[in-house]
Amino acid sequence: MKPAKYFLYRCLSRKMHYLFSDKTVIEGMFREVFGRELDLANPVTFNEKLQWMKLYDRDPLKVQCADKYAVREYVRQKGFGHILNELYDVYETVGEIDFDSLPDSYVLKATHGSGWNVLVKDGLVTIGRQTRDLKTARSRLKKWLRKSQYIRYREWCYKDIQPRIVCEKYLESGDGSDGAPADYKIYCFHGKPKAIQVIVGRSVSPQQAFYDVHWQKIDLISVTYPPCHREIEAPGCLKEMLEISTALSSEFLYVRVDLYDLDGKPIFGEMSFYPGSGLLQFTPTCYDIEFGKILKLPL
């Protein structure tokens, strides 16, 4: 990015970044986070290659699989309909939601973004781990339906997803923990799982740890959550999870397959093609290079 263009990019608010090309915004975000220029001609690190994929990997199947409603059909076609969470309904507008007819506990998710979720547990409304009310939830859902994950971070596969809201069953573990089932984010390269990021304690105080596919702990954390210092037991369904993630990722250069362990049964969460929007800061940083070596781009 030329200095003059970068200066203009920095001066304008994020709400004005739609004026710039995808390449300019992607280069600007990368420079802000990592303090160096993005090398799209010869990307080396994992994060660099994810930025390259935003710009040049135009597989239409990614659009379906990034859509939190449409991906359900892909999962069924792969033979894993039994791992889908129970779907109560899907809505195109907030006005269609009859909150009085819903059960005491449920989850509302925007289909076209990341982290745009409303959790309702026994009537208690939570957004981003903060207690809210239904009026706020309605307002937030309307706002999300107007927003674009593509415009925010230039994540191409979100560009043409129809904004909708899905209502699913609230998942709760019966293991006596904080209630939230453990979340297993499986990093898959060329159809092969290579690393597993585990998130525990999501509803109260989330922590993370990384393991390899043999459940050996990896000395790695990302900036998303604080590290979990205790040893996390391997899920009893680990083998099944790896088989599922292998099948679901087989069509792609890279995808993160998210699964929950609900009392020994894997439940599908989502598929993510640009975790952290390709701006993940790893500690130690060598893993950015190590993951980059595994991901082979068609350059």
Question: Can you state the angle between helices 3-11 and 22-34, rounded to 10 degrees?
Answer: 80
CA–CA separation, 241 vs 131, rounded Å?
A: 32
Q: Are 184 and 258 in contact (CB under 8 A)?
A: yes
Tally Cβ neighbours within 10 Å of residue 298. 6
CA distances from 143 to 61, 96, 165 (A): 27, 15, 12
Q: In a 3-state reduction of DSSP, which class is residue 117? A: strand
254 token code pair: 């890279």
Indicate if the pLDDT at residue 147 is higher than 90. yes
**Average model confidence (pLDDT) across the chain:** 93
CA–CA separation, 197 vs 211, rounded Å?
A: 7
**Number of continuous H segments (helices) and E segments (strands) in the chain:** 9, 14
Indicate if the pLDDT at residue 106 is higher than 70. yes
Widest CA span in the chain: 56
The lowest-confidence range among 17-31, 44-58, 140-154 is: 17-31
pLDDT tens profile 251-263: 999 999 999 999 8
Mean pLDDT within 244-272:
97
Q: Are 157 and 62 in contact (CB under 8 A)?
A: yes
CA atoms within 13 A on the CB side of 71: 25
Tally Cβ neighbours within 10 Å of residue 297. 14
- CA 222-224-226 angle, to 5 degrees, is 80
- Please give the pLDDT value at position 8: 57
Fold of 178-294: D-amino Acid Aminotransferase; Chain A, domain 1 (3.30.470)
Q: In a 3-state reduction of DSSP, which class is residue 256? A: strand
pLDDT tens profile 276-299: 999 999 999 999 999 999 999 998
Q: Are 66 and 271 in contact (CB under 8 A)?
A: yes
Q: Where do the CATH 3.30.470 domains begin and end in the chain? A: 178-294
pLDDT tens profile 165-188: 999 999 987 554 557 899 999 999
- pTM tops 0.95: no
